[in-house]
Structure 1
């Protein structure tokens, strides 16, 4: 009997030790710090897997054109759309996912200028230390790059992509590529046509209902244009200025034929593209609805059924870009 119990005492530990040795150790589940994300184009976010080092995970995106992810789990949003980020263990057959939605980049500004070459400049919403206005940035591929040492409230762009600005003190400045150079005279608004013609609204009131003097740039100074006043200005590809006056009436300069009014629209700003497309922010005189309107060859203003704004510019191919009352940039599709 003693021998039987000794055998049992020997067999039982062996049986249990065999079970423990052959049992599979269950890995910890992958838990990500985000299961869904909404990112603006150009922004990024770090994905982390709890209890796992980033080097223990294989990171993949179901659509690398929408958003990419690197070996450390850093996501970069590239274009509008949706994609799925997957985290997979290198040692175990376990995964976790994060759904990513990429939305257009939200750009804010006080004014916008677009050159005939497609160059885009934005007057920001952040005041500069000099108190002369707001920051000036160039927009390239949905990324804003600030230009140095200047503040402004209005901007226009030459055909070769050089910005001219008006600051809070009504000074006119031109960017040389490295510095801002003050130009003669003072102004409250500025516009540049696809042919290089430069016009400005001065700071001298010439009409209580029309606004301030209208000036053309001679290459070294400003020359006043007769018989009209305005508050906002744009220039057609042929160098003809269009203005919006203090009473919100749109006028087009006719040279020897003076200024031609368009009485069927009330506008607050005007923009003209390098292809000649004319847009205004405003409303028809026959309607209370405000929005974005395009001038057609039949002297009519086409309602684009787009929400209104404050400042407008036009791309070389004739698409309206505008800022709304909350300073957010919108683009016509």
Structure 2
């Protein structure tokens, strides 16, 4: 990975860029699996044709790969985790470097600058002494022997191993091409640096008129189409509008559904989900009722659909879910919730009953940033892992993006918004309905 975040592989005689791929850290498993992590903590794996990286479940800023292809990561809070499934398995160990040997041995340099090895119980890490030296990073060679770089910049080997190096200089001298590359760039960060990457640049937006008098509902569907619903300027019947990406205009979609739409979202198959009078409706793209779900009594406050088709809904400030292939909504948790948004690989973000932003850790909801209370008017989540919120600053609504590296929400300086949702490439769509009914899209 270059300093610009571009990814290259060596073919034996030249450097070849993996077009469109950007990352911050990279690792290769004993089975040949190549995994990268980007500055937001998203993981991607090289496909068999070695032409692109595909997103995989899991999260972390630093990555290592076991011989079975399973990624291990270090999160932004420095906790070690194993990402065999979603959510990842979290270990009670903080670290700033991680490596896995071809024999499967897992080594870390802890947040206390200690070299540690995963015990045979696969639950705890034991200290490996490095007398006279303070480890900074670790790699693992054949037979599980660690090598470390110390804080005094010395490379320390626990054991040398045989390797024919006669052709190395020939390969290096004959290699053509460079690692400048072209196209997208990305931040390259280190988990031990709390300020390596700060989201502070302005975002340019394109503006599109809806010609509505009010916007009541605003959503990006799982198919990346953008929808708004509200009162037209002539005060006639409320209109359901869809953005036409060819004409770049919002166009009315005629629906046969004869009730108002509330808490809308659109699934990947184009079906429209909405709530009304204590029920959740699944509508066809033309508004005919496909199915009505009766839910527990109470007011319905928010609805969001995950990439796997799971439908989440907030009823009387409790979160419920309808998993694909099931027929009833079941309670997700007993936490108080006002809004819900579903990101990459079922990553659940909410605003609680006090409008504080929280993320589900796999066992509980936790404030983001942890230990702080950040209030949100709206929460938008992209399937690429991007999280945006809108928040009242005291005088106006502002747009903020979650920065997993710095564990903070960073303000987008040049725009105002009270509604936000995110398309799959991470670009936010926003509206500031307190002052306008225009909708804005972040530029490429």
User: Displacement, 1:165?
Assistant: 1.4
What is the TM-score with the length of structure 1 in the denominator?
0.58
Q: Using the alignment, how far apart are the partners of 1:188 and 1:264 within structure 2?
A: 21
Match of 1:157 among 266, 277, 289: 266
Q: Which structure shows the bigger proportion of residues in helix conformation?
A: 1
Match for residue 240 of structure 2?
Answer: 136
Matches within 5 A, 1:46-57: none
Name the residue aligned to 1:75.
none
The residue matched to 1:238 in structure 2 has which SS? helix
Q: Within 1, Cα distance between the matches of 2:403 and 2:392?
A: 15
Q: CA deviation at 1:217?
A: 0.9
Per-residue CA distance 1:214-260 (angstroms, 9 max, x = gap):
1111331111122311111100121132111231201112232x111
Q: Separation in 1 of the partners of 2:428 and 2:397?
A: 15
Give the whole-Å Cα distance in 1 for the aligned partners of 2:380 and 2:253: 23
Gaps of 5+ in 1: 1-102, 205-211
Q: Where in structure 2 are the equivalents of 1:92-241 lying within 5 Å?
A: 104-107=207-210, 108=212, 109-126=215-232, 134-141=238-245, 142-150=249-257, 151-167=260-276, 169-178=277-286, 179-181=288-290, 182-185=292-295, 187-202=300-315, 204=316, 212-218=317-323, 219-241=326-348
| Deviation string, structure 1 residues 194-215 (Cα, Å, up to 9, x no partner) | 222221111x2xxxxxxx1111
Going from structure 1 to structure 2, the CA distance change for 1:105 and 1:251 (only over 3 Å counts) comes to closer
Q: C-alpha distance in 2, partners of 1:185/1:235? A: 20
Q: Please give the alpha-carbon distance, in whole angstroms, between the structure 2 residues aligned to 1:185 and 1:128.
A: 31
Q: Distance in 1 between matches of 2:383 and 2:366?
A: 21
Q: Describe the shift of the 1:305–1:170 C-alpha distance in structure 2 as closer, same or farther (beyond 3 A).
A: farther
1:263-316 Cα distance to aligned partner (Å, 9 max, x none): 2521111010121110000157xx876400011222211111143333221111
Deviation per residue, 1:161-203 (Å, 9 max, x gap): 3221123x3432112234133223263210012222221111x
Match of 1:310 among 418, 433, 436: 418
1:296 paired residue among 403, 407, 412: 403
TM-aligned CA distance change 1:144 to 1:201, over 3 Å: same
- Report the aligned-residue RMSD: 2.5
Distance change in 2, residues 1:157/1:113 (3 Å): same
User: Aligned residue for 2:367?
Assistant: 261
Query: Structure 2: 5+ residue runs without aligned partners?
Result: 1-205
Larger radius of gyration: 1
Cα distance in 2 for partners of 1:245, 1:236 equals 17
- Pairs aligned (count): 215
Normalised to the residue count of structure 2, the TM-score between the two structures is 0.45
In structure 1, what is the Cα distance between the partners aligned to 2:240 and 2:398? 26
SS at match of 2:336: strand
Deviating runs (4+, > 6 A) in structure 1? none
Match in the other structure for 1:247: 354
CA distance in 2, matches of 1:289, 1:323: 13
**Counterpart of 1:329?**
439
Give the counterpart of 1:271 among 372, 377, 380: 380
Preserved CA contact (<8 Å) 1:313 1:320 = yes
- Output the CA distance in 2 between the equivalents of 1:104 and 1:266: 26
Q: Corresponding residue for 1:60?
A: none
